[in-house]
Amino acid sequence: MINFTDVNLSFTAGMNALNGVNLDISRGEFVYVIGKSGAGKSSFLRLIYADVMPTRGLVKVDGCDIRSLGRLQIPYFRRKIGIIFQDYKLIESITVFDNIKLATDIYYKLRSEVKDEIYILLRDVGIFEKRDELVCNLSGGEKQRVAIVRALINNPQVIIADEPTGNLDHETAENIMQILNKLRLEGTTILIATHDDNIRQRYPAREIRLDKGKVISDAGVESE
Amino acid sequence: MLVLKVSNIVKSRSKFIYLFMRGFRNFLRDFRSNIVTFITIITLIVLFNIFNLTSVVLSSFLSSTTSVDSIRVYMLDADKGDISKLSTDLISFDGVVDVQIFFPSDSKKFIEENTSNIKGLDKFSEQFFPTFIDVKLDAEGIKNIKVLKEEMYKLSNVEYVSYGEKILSKFFQINFITNVFIVVLLILVCISLASVIFNATRISLYKYSEEMKVYLLVGGTRPFISMPYIFSSMIMSLVTSVLAIAIFVMLSSFLNSLLVDIDIFMKTPPIWTYIFQIFILNIFSLISSSISVVLFIKRVSSVNDV
Q: Are residues B46 and B142 in the same domain?
A: no
Residue B90: domain span: 69-163
Which of A75, A83, A150 comes nearest B220 by C-beta? A75
Q: Are residues B52 and B85 in the same domain?
A: no
Q: Is B102 left (phi over 0), alpha (psi -120 to 50) or beta?
A: beta
Number of domains in chain B: 2
Q: Are residues B210 and B97 in the same domain?
A: no
Q: Of B118, B144, B163, which residue constitutes the final position of a domain?
A: B163
Q: Of B115, B145, B163, which residue constitutes the final position of a domain?
A: B163
pLDDT digits (tens, 9 = 90+) for B257-289: 887 777 667 777 788 888 988 898 888 888 988
Comparing alpha-carbon positions, the chain B residue that sits nearest to A87 is: B306
Which residues of A sit within 8 Å Cβ distance of B? Answer: 42, 46, 49, 51, 71-72, 75-79, 83, 85, 89-91, 99, 102-103, 105-106, 108, 110, 150, 154
Comparing alpha-carbon positions, the chain B residue that sits nearest to A42 is: B304
With a CB cutoff of 8 Å and minimum separation 6, the contacts of B12 are none
Dihedrals phi, psi of B130, to nearest 5 degrees: -80, 165
Task: Give me the DSSP letters along chain A.
Answer: -EEEEEEEEEEETTEEEEEEEEEEE-TT-EEEEE-STTSSHHHHHHHHTTSS--SEEEEEETTEEGGG--TTTHHHHHTTEEEEETT----TTSBHHHHHHHHHHTTT--HHHHHHHHHHHHHHHT-GGGTTSBGGGS-HHHHHHHHHHHHHTT--SEEEEESTTTTS-HHHHHHHHHHHHHHHHTT-EEEEE---HHHHHHS--EEEEEETTEEEEETTEE--
Q: Are residues B43 and B175 in the same domain?
A: yes
Residue B7 domain flag: no
Q: Of B146, B163, B180, which residue constitutes the final position of a domain?
A: B163
Q: What's the ipTM? A: 0.86
Q: Are residues B32 and B142 in the same domain?
A: no
Which of B14, B15, B214 comes nearest A89 by C-beta? B214
Q: Read off the CATH number of the domain in which B121 is found.
A: 3.30.70.3040
Residue B34 domain flag: yes
Per-residue pLDDT tens digits of chain A, which is 224 residues long: 888 888 888 887 667 788 888 888 988 888 999 888 888 888 889 999 888 889 989 999 888 888 888 888 889 999 989 998 888 889 999 999 999 999 999 998 888 888 998 998 888 888 889 999 999 999 888 898 899 889 888 888 899 988 888 777 787 778 778 888 888 888 889 999 988 888 888 888 899 998 888 888 887 433 33
**Contact B221/A105, CB-based, under 8 Å?**
no
What are the chain B neighbours of A103 within 8 Å (beta carbons)?
Answer: 214, 218
